[in-house]
Chain A
Amino acid sequence: MRRHFQAILKLFYRTLLVIPLFLFSPGVNSFASTQEGVSLNPANDSVFSKEKIEKKAEGFNAGDMIMEHVTDNHEWHILEIGHFKLLIPLPVILFYDGQLYTFCSSRFHNEERSYQGFSLPEEGPEKGKIVRLGAIPGGPGVYDFSITKTVLAIFISAFLLLVIFISIARSYSRNRSKAPKGMQSLLEPLILFIRDDIAKSSIGEKKYEKYMPYLLTIFFFIFLNNILGLIPIFPGGANVTGNIAVTMVMAVFTFILTTVSGNKHYWIDIVNTPGVPWWLKLPIPLMPVVEIIGVITKPFVLMVRLFANMAAGHIITLGFISLIFIFGAMNVALGYGVSVGAVAFMIFMNLLELLVAFIQAYVFTLLSALYFGLATIEPEHH
């Protein structure tokens, strides 16, 4: 009994060490904001830009609102009533031409949205992306390491995870032989579920302990961020797991762990898959090529699955809300009427999203554990 709790205690402390690795996602966000600033902009398409100019006169643009909530931003908009805007301007950290520039993003709140030679345009092909004024293409690029909305949300959820799990670890070390109570008893079934049904059954009795910190961290990080994304007000409501950069970092971690812990049998099974006829391997190595592509696509699918599930859920919920405003713009009474049905659908979608939040965290963790199990497979002795 005592050794059981001591083992869990060690698992917790090791889990906490892995959480700071997720703070490396900010670096990847510099890549993400360039991609999202250029690619997810409807104004690129000539048909879209005409409609956009017309709709700006009308006042409510559903596509813009949804994209603004789903993509990253240099400020955190909390509230907007009429002309009163409550927002949190976040720090901007730029690295351009060998020099570091740091300032608050509220400096961009002037007429031409520019400060110190950088500008953050609000429309056009570089919307939402910090560019250097008068830059020639081919010159040094602007590397954006700002604390954006997604990064701040990652900090908040990492802080929450640390608080919860340090308190659980401490209560385990204090009540060594007593029954668990409080936060400990809330999360112990989940933790034991991950240990027994995910880790032990996929990786095996002998080697699962090494991977438990990573699996626990992945599961609770994804689960907490999914749940926080469903809460509409600060500090929730930031689309962390629906950001492909964040899920890419987690999939890369899984890929690195699988590759590093792959033993001889893992690599032999890739190049010389057992049970496959020889003519698929020898003159033209079809099977090895398929297996090597599989090594890359398995983490890639992990990334896209989580990203698409979360982003689609947010887009659907926001779409139901915009239905109310679209109908309301046509006729106020129609807006009120539609709002009954739209709110009902939205509640249903939110409940479904709660289920999807847990299932996606579970599937990501389970598949990571399966890949670790495949990497450390021992051949059966006949």
Chain B
Amino acid sequence: MQAGVLERAAGHFRTPSLWALLPLCAVYGLAVITAPEDAVQGVIQKILYVHPACAFAAYLGFGLTALGGALYLWREDEQYDRLALASAEVGVVFCTLVILTGPIWARGTWGRFWSWDPRLTVTLLLWFIYLAYLLLRGFTEGSARAARFAAVYGIAGVLAIPLNYFAIDLFGGRAIHPENLGRGSLGAGMGLPFALGLVTALLAFFHLLARRLELEGLRARNAFAEAETQHEPARAEGPWPT
């Protein structure tokens, strides 16, 4: 079995993206260090340059899971199912980072690690939705029926993304999480580290996705080769002696 187009593209993207990522991380780090301190929050506001960037990468991962699932249902091509699975896993990694970095900022700003604020609660829900997706895939490996069910589940789960993004607007008065960034809401000198953070997180996302997709391609190829070798001896030996 040949690897799908997506896995072959991932194999080509893996090394160049790593070489692009290393200097970008250095520039991003320098921009964060030299960025001005926020007048109200102080230095802890610099967590802003990594926390929302990880959230956008997680959204992208879960969005690609839904896209991969939809394409799998439409085309019945397994490479799209593998894309959905790989995207969900990388998305969960970034969502975990959102859930870890947020409380660090909250401890320094609110004085406590966690609050059952709408945004925080929906983020936790989003994390659980895709963690359950990964568990489902782990327990039902290789089953086409499970892949179809997972595709529908992945598409339904993506509805939690707008709920997460607009949680502050929807639950208005009860939200203590800072509002979504709008045009001009960042102070002078804060736009560059924020943009660099976003670009770095997205490149890191695509780099990890490429590596994860490559693994799925290798697994599928190994499984196919294994199935072939199991049938080969019978073919080579011919009919059993009577």
Q: Do A and B come from one complex?
A: no
Binding site for B on A (CB under 8 A): none
